[in-house]
Amino acid sequence: MTQRPFRLIDAIRWGVYGGIAVVLIALIGMVQAFSNKGIVADRVTMSQVLVFGLIAAVALMTSGRAAATKPRLIIPAGILAGGTVALFPALLALLITQVNLRSVLLNASPELADLLLPGNANDLVSALQLVALGGAFGFAVGALTRVPARVRRSLVSAGVGVILIGLLQAVFVVIIPDSWRQFLYKANGLSTNGAIALFIVLTVLDYAWLRGRPLTQQQIGRLSAGRRRVLRMVVTLIMLGILAVLPQLLGPFLSEVADIIGIYIIMGMGLNIVVGFAGLLDLGYVAFFAIGAYTMAVLTTPELPVVRNVIPQLNFWEALPFALLISFVSGVLLGIPVLKTRGDYLAIITLGFGEIIRLLVLSDAFKPILGGAQGITGVARPRVGDITVVNPQQFFYPILAGILIAWFITARLKISRLGRAWMAIREDEDVAAAMGINLVGYKLMAFATGATLAGLGGALFGSKLGSMVPASFNVLVSINVLALLIVGGMGSLPGVIVGAAALIGLPELLREFSEFRWWVYGIVLVAMMIFKPEGLWPEATRLRELHEFETPVPVETAEETETAAVPA
Amino acid sequence: MSQNHNHILLAHKVSKRFGGLQALTDLDIAVAFHAIHSVIGPNGAGKTTFFNCITGFYKPEEGEILFRGQPIQGMSPDRVAALGIARTYQNIRLFTNVTVLENVLVGMHRRLHTGWFGAVLRTPTTRREEKKAIKEAMELLRFVELADKADYIAKNLPYGEQRRLEIARALAGNPDLLLLDEPTAGMNPKETEDTMALIQRLREEMKITILLIEHDMRVVMNISDIITVLDFGKKIAEGDPLAIRTNPQVIEAYLGRGAAAGKDYGARTTAAVEG
């Protein structure tokens, strides 16, 4: 495919797209909502990061395109793209100051104009200033493409890192020592010195990491198998050590977030077997989550006299095996009729099943057993010795145990005969059958294992909340788990953790943005599908599948694949 | 039936319809033990349909297919495979995104026994089995001369090697009967030569019966013990290569009625199919 040489009109075209995006963001109220969140205290707000981030993205892309075909246009392209993007919010601000649009566009307020334009007066001069600023920013970004690629990468990573650290202030102030905190942070955002220092440190670290990694990998590669195993053990132990003290580091609020992420990781591990390994699109995964949670609740609550007359009240540990067993059995029972269908049909049937379970729980008929719309309270908490696990910091441990078990099981299954059979089914069902693989049997095994892990997640969830309502088990849970797999990387175990942290953890931490949560969620998913369809931490097989025209002969040994499946 | 003792596969009056299309009509084929038995015929003659009936992907409406005397028509593909019938495909169907070795290991599926618990706990039995499986897979790869490419991703192999890998994957299940669907399609003369030699080694060294669909008449005439000719789903001729080469009905099927009136049938068949 021959590429058309880059022209400056392309820079303007992309600038227009970027500009429209900025206007859109401003008009839905994001700029105003984010202006209260400081990244660098009193200097840079989140809304500025957003607007200039978009400018940077557009400028980066256009100058990148220019670099490919017309290197001498890099700088002009950057300036032009940046200026064009900035032109749109500038015009919007001028328009707002002249005409009252609020009857139609609720967010087009004078405050918005204040936020968009630099300086104090909202006049033509400041509008031109904004355009110039955009152009200057575009120039800087364009100049960046002239910098050696490694340095550029480090600079960009460090910039993004500083923004993230500023954004996640609430997390970092809890974790880092007091002296650091006083240096790095102010009340609302990073301190100026802190931000600069952080930027330099991150740049150096990233650069060192990029330089050092291949060397280290070589050294590790030269180690004998026994030594490598020792190294892996040491790394694993260190990780476990960190995890063991994590709740103390995080404090109650962040532990709560970690718990939620953890429950989603357990579910993600389970769905990963079904969708990632065996390629069965299950959209009703929440059903098994609900079944696990309700089994736990029904068996352990002191309420529900109808049930209590028949089954004695159990404690958490007694009820857990039943929760797993019933999830497993329902996985098998649902699987038998469903798994003979393929692809799209399977997705629709499972989607329906998920809703059926929720409606059954809601129904009056089952109210004496399942609590109906009011739900069930008084679900048992796990007891270890004399301690009842109640608060989020304590609950981190049973959830962590669940994650480790789920990881262990999926990692082992993946590299076994079962994992290969699932791979075969995912890649080509007919051929898999011709290899002697019993399709229904192996699909059932994937489905039931996934269901059991969802049940484990559900049981922990129910017990952690202490009470539950049917509303917690809607189709969004299924979608969330699926989305975290996609974002993390289908079939990849570390991907599940990364995906859960990104899609479940970030929205919990960034409560300021809750209004825009689903909007951002949608954008992130679309962007992922376009730019990084293999996910944030892809599995090797999937990477090859999606980038077949880009990557030449990536050779990997069976041993490496095995290493990747072990927690490290 | 006394034939059972001499024949690994017996198809008796097999018929298969797709809607109004009669794909196979009363087909009788007897494949002898350790034979290289070719099935030829013009495009659409029903050759691949016959393969699909044997391997359980299609269920014939009528007739019976016996493998070692056991009826297998209508059995599910995985059960047929488990009995010892393996196949390759006209358009290569490898597991393209995994390694060469993994492809062969999947082919070994039916001979391995690791279950859920064995896999999760990685018991000594499982480890032994995996070790042995990898060793045997490497031996198979050596047999098809792909051992040095065990770690390659299947889709990155050149065409001819992909064909060989597909054969290795089929062999991994230790089949007694191997169905090869146009194994030399798209190959250059050298590759075709090698594949013919490989097929003969399969019979000589591994004692496998071969049922072969092939369009290249040089291959068919050179290595077949017996040839069955299909046309419009019916068997029109059967015999050794010489008999088929000179059979007027075969020539008619390939070249049309006019040509059958000509004299030098054999040369014409060969020329027509090769050209």
Instruction: Reply yes or no on whether the pLDDT at B198 is more than 90.
Output: yes
Residue A47, CA distances (Å) to A32, A51, A144, B41 in order: 7, 6, 23, 72
pLDDT confidence of residue B5: 66
pLDDT digits (tens, 9 = 90+) for A39-83: 898 888 888 898 999 999 999 889 888 888 888 888 889 999 999
Query: Would you place residue B4 in the very low, low, confident or very high pLDDT band (cuts 50, 70, 90)?
Result: low
A311 or A343: whose pLDDT is higher?
A311
Q: Minimum mean pLDDT among A316-325, A556-565, B162-171, B198-207: which range?
A: A556-565
Q: Nearest Cβ partner of B151 from A420, A438, A557?
A: A557
Q: What percent of chain B has pLDDT over 70?
A: 91
ipTM, two decimals: 0.89
Yes or no, beta carbons of B106 and A439 under 8 Å apart: no
Q: Which residues of B touch A556 (CB under 8 A)?
A: 99, 151, 153
Give the three-class secondary structure for B258: helix
Q: Which residues of A touch B173 (CB under 8 A)?
A: 435-436
Nearest to A508 by CA among A160, A169, A254: A254
A551 touching chain B per CB within 8 A: no
Phi, psi of B31 (to 5 degrees): -105, 120
Q: Which residues pair with B16 in a beta bridge?
A: B24
The rounded distance, in Å, linking the Cα atoms of A136 and A157 is 21
Global pTM value = 0.87
Yes or no, beta carbons of B173 and A436 under 8 Å apart: yes
Q: Minimum mean pLDDT among A384-388, A479-483, B58-62, B182-186: which range?
A: A384-388
Q: Minimum mean pLDDT among A137-151, A279-293, B147-161: which range?
A: A137-151
- Residue A172 neighbours by CB under 8 Å, 6+ apart: A165, A181, A184, A185
pLDDT confidence of residue A41: 87
The rounded distance, in Å, linking the Cα atoms of B207 and B178 is 11
Yes or no, beta carbons of A435 and B122 under 8 Å apart: no
Q: Which residues of A touch B106 (CB under 8 A)?
A: 420-421, 423-424, 432, 435, 437
Q: Which residues of A touch B57 (CB under 8 A)?
A: 430, 433-434
Q: Nearest Cβ partner of B119 from A416, A438, A555?
A: A416
pLDDT confidence of residue B25: 93
pLDDT confidence of residue A399: 96
Mean of the pLDDT values across residues B144-170? 93
Yes or no, beta carbons of A558 and B101 under 8 Å apart: yes
The rounded distance, in Å, linking the Cα atoms of A238 and A250 is 18
pLDDT digits (tens, 9 = 90+) for A530-565: 888 888 888 876 666 666 544 444 444 433 343 334
pLDDT digits (tens, 9 = 90+) for A8-27: 888 999 999 999 999 999 99
Query: Would you place residue A2 in the very low, low, confident or very high pLDDT band (cuts 50, 70, 90)?
Result: low
Mean of the pLDDT values across residues A325-344? 88
Q: Are B28 and B55 in contact (CB under 8 A)?
A: no
pLDDT confidence of residue B18: 92
Please name the residue of chain B whose CA is at the shortest distance from the CA of residue A441.
Answer: B78
The rounded distance, in Å, linking the Cα atoms of A34 and A43 is 14
Helix (H), strand (E), coil (C) string for A217-270: HHHHHHCCHHHHHHHHHHHHHHHHHHHHHHHHHHHHHHHHHHHHHHHHHHHHHH
Yes or no, beta carbons of A544 and B153 under 8 Å apart: yes
pLDDT digits (tens, 9 = 90+) for A280-308: 999 999 999 999 999 999 999 998 888 88
pLDDT confidence of residue B263: 45
Phi, psi of A30 (to 5 degrees): -70, -40
The rounded distance, in Å, linking the Cα atoms of B163 and B191 is 10
Query: Residue B256: exposed, middle, or buried by beta-carbon count in 10 A (0-12, 13-18, 19+)?
Result: exposed
Please name the residue of chain B whose CA is at the shortest distance from the CA of residue A551.
Answer: B156
What's the mean per-residue pLDDT of chain A?
88
Of chain B residues 23-62, which have a CB less than 8 A from chain A? 55-57
The rounded distance, in Å, linking the Cα atoms of A276 and A293 is 24
Instruction: Reply yes or no on whether the pLDDT at B275 is more than 50.
Output: no
Mean of the pLDDT values across residues A480-499? 93
B251 touching chain A per CB within 8 A: no
Yes or no, beta carbons of B81 and A557 under 8 Å apart: no
Mean of the pLDDT values across residues A344-369? 89
pLDDT digits (tens, 9 = 90+) for A190-244: 999 999 999 999 999 999 988 888 888 788 778 788 888 898 899 999 999 999 9
Q: Where are the alpha helices (DSSP H) in A28-123?
A: 30-34, 46-69, 74-98, 110-116
Q: Minimum mean pLDDT among A24-28, A213-217, A491-495, A525-529: which range?
A: A213-217
Yes or no, beta carbons of B112 and A417 under 8 Å apart: yes
Query: Would you place residue A3 in the very low, low, confident or very high pLDDT band (cuts 50, 70, 90)?
Result: low
Instruction: Reply yes or no on whether the pLDDT at B257 is more than 70.
Output: no
Q: Which residues of A touch B96 (CB under 8 A)?
A: 427
Q: Which residues of A touch B78 (CB under 8 A)?
A: 433-439
Mean of the pLDDT values across residues B176-195? 92
The rounded distance, in Å, linking the Cα atoms of A279 and A343 is 9
Interface test with B, best of A409, A413, A435, A557 (most B CBs within 10 A): A435
pLDDT confidence of residue B30: 94
Instruction: Reply yes or no on whether the pLDDT at B271 is more than 70.
Output: no
Single-letter amino acid code for the residue at A65: R
Q: Which residues of B touch A449 (CB under 8 A)?
A: 116
Yes or no, beta carbons of A423 and B99 under 8 Å apart: no
Which of the residue ranges A244-248, A322-326, B185-189 has the most confident prediction, judged by mean pLDDT?
Answer: A322-326
Q: Nearest Cβ partner of A428 from B76, B93, B173?
A: B93
Q: Where are the alpha helices (DSSP H) in B108-240?
A: 116-121, 124-143, 159-171, 189-206, 217-223
Single-letter amino acid code for the residue at B231: D
pLDDT digits (tens, 9 = 90+) for B85-133: 999 999 999 999 999 999 999 999 999 999 999 999 999 999 999 999 9
Q: Minimum mean pLDDT among A470-474, A536-540, B147-151: which range?
A: A536-540
